[in-house]
Amino acid sequence: MTNLLWLRQDLRLHDQPALVAAAQAGAVIPVYILDDDAPGDWRIGGAQRWWLHHSLKALGDALAEKGSRLILRRGDAVAILTELMERTGAGAIHAIRHYEPWWRKAEAALGERLCLHDGNHLAPPERVTTGSGGQFRIYSAFWKGLQEHLPPERPVDAPRTIPAPDRWPESEMLADWHLLPTTPDWSGGFDWTPGEDEARHKVAALALDGYDERRNLPSEHGTSRLSPHLHFGEVSPRAVWHATDAHDVTFRKELAWRDFTDGVVLALPDYADRNGRPAFDRLPWRTGRDATADLKAWQQGRTGYPIVDAGMRQLWQSGWMHNRVRMIAASFVIKHLLIDWREGERWYWDCLVDADYGNNAVNWQWVAGTGIDANMFGRIMAPLSQSEKFDAAGYIRRWVPELAELPDAAIHDPDAAGCRPAAYPAKLIGHREARERALAAGRKVR
């Protein structure tokens, strides 16, 4: 019997339960469908498209080595899979379960033709539930509940060979999808190697000594940089888990956070568009010409706050931003500029190679204070002191060259030190003024 293997954010052969099941049942036709309509406003952004091009190329090469091939189609996923079943006589579609609302809708539409498998989580979100059977809405409680399902199963090896069908359906050409940017080619500085081989290499090379401290220092290479590989499913979470030790608790909690955020969007599918706390619908966000100009300055890394600007420029030039700086930059646009968190969320979505629907939404609402498990709105990160506390001088010098010659004592706040270069912008707003404005807006919510 021939089976379709529907690939989405699971672009790997190792620890691929849908592939294993399909291969055991007969010949396999691996299919990737670029469906830009199903996600609506959440179609993948520019940085993700760059990654997807290279990841699909790597996966196609890996499949060819095993006597298989990758079929590429563009359009409505449900319609294309239905048509492929009819043309090939496939008896079933095998896929790994996904939790984005548009994929859950597509899975439901395919009905009994679809055989779903778990493989992108430490434990399926449906199993990690509260005493009443609902999804956890507080991470600490989720982490405690997850312990009942740990350790995850051991990863399974990729099949040595993949049975091929007698006839292959036609495939589109990857180059014809034009996933790579053209003008402006802002991806020229992307220092990444997408694909399963690179993901597994990074996992094998994980060095987590001192991770608790080093992960917060932007000037050091203290993070795993696995996030885009995990997002695209080039490596499974359980493979990463089993590559770590029991004392790597902080790292494992961050890995589990991805499971938690999928549980949130399982319970609240529109969490990326709506405040988790409805009271914040009353918050008076700034709009109009001045707010638009401030948002653009933030996007371009020209706010006058060096650590914020370094982060935003790193984002634009590399498709990634250090996690500590992501929080600082997000807090700045929300609290200092009083701009709706959804504006920042959308910018990250387009610019991050690791942009993930659940993770992105939950993180933004956590920083904004609008979410179900979030900081208070009145908690306003101080970017200048954060920069000094986490020793960001080297990070700033790399990404904000106008400040490269300043000494450490001045680089975090050139205005206060009286040595701001003419080429570097003044602050959009003072920290104290911004804090008072944000607190006043927050009081209107209460």
Joined tokens for residue 280 = 């914040």
Residue 91 pLDDT: 97
pLDDT digits (tens, 9 = 90+) for 415-432: 999 999 999 999 999 999
**How far, in Å, CA of 412 to CA of 388, rounded?**
6
Residues of the chain with pLDDT under 70: 183-187
CATH 3.20.20.70 fits 121-153+196-267, yes or no: no
Residue 189 pLDDT: 76
Give the CATH architecture of domain 1-119: 3-Layer(aba) Sandwich (3.40)
Asked whether the beta carbons of 288 and 170 are under 8 A apart, the reply is no
Give the β-pairing of 92-96 and 71-74.
unpaired
Residues marked active site are found at 254, 257, 285, 323, 341, 364
Q: Which amino acid is at 300?
A: Q
Residue 187 pLDDT: 67
pLDDT digits (tens, 9 = 90+) for 187-237: 677 999 999 999 999 999 999 999 999 999 999 999 999 999 999 999 999
Residue 162 pLDDT: 97
* Fold of domain 278-445: DNA Cyclobutane Dipyrimidine Photolyase, subunit A; domain 3 (1.10.579)
Does the pTM exceed 0.85? yes
- b/e map of 298-335 (b: 16 or more CB within 10 Å)? bbebbbbbbbbbbbbbbbbbbbbbbbbbbbbbbbbbbb
- Residue 375, phi then psi, degrees to nearest 5: -65, 160
* Domain limits, the chain: 1-119, 121-153+196-267, 278-445
Residue 374 pLDDT: 83
